[in-house]
């Protein structure tokens, strides 16, 4: 397996896990910590599973952005930089599964 191609997937998963760790949801943290090991399984369902998890993760980042931005706006605190950062994190998380469109990974997972 070309490990370098999977780095965006793994990093997006780990950052999402850190987000849920901070929230105290240890079941989700454990699931996300184990998810990169699914990349070792050469089955066609792996990209679908990973894509679904990361798209849900991107939605969670957007939800978090809206909640924190609303709270900061209500306090009159600056919120723009935080919104940009979380927006970029959401975008990277949502786009990470595109690595499955590369030829080596399509062949690996028989897509």
Average pLDDT over residues 74-101: 97
Element (H, E) at 53: helix 45-75
- Burial profile 15-53: b = 16 or more Cβ within 10 angstroms, e = fewer: ebbebbeeeeeeebbeebeebbebbeeeeeebbeebbeb
What pLDDT does residue 2 have?
79
Single pTM value for the model: 0.93
pLDDT of residue 38: 96
pLDDT per position as a tens digit, 28-81: 999 999 999 999 999 999 999 999 999 999 999 999 999 999 999 999 999 999
pLDDT of 27 reads 97
pLDDT reading at 1 higher than 90: no
């Amino acid at each position: 397996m070309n490990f370098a191609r999977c780095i965006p997937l793994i990093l997006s998963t780990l950052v999402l896990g850190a987000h849920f760790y901070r929230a105290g949801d240890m079941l989700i943290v454990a699931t996300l910590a184990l998810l990169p090991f699914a990349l070792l399984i050469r089955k066609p369902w792996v990209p679908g599973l990973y894509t679904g998890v990361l798209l849900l993760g991107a939605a969670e980042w957007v939800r978090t952005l809206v909640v924190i931005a609303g709270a900061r706006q209500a306090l009159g605190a600056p919120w723009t930089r935080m919104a940009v950062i979380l927006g970029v994190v959401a975008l990277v998380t949502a786009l990470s599964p595109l690595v499955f469109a590369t030829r080596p990974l399509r062949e690996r997972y028989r897509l």
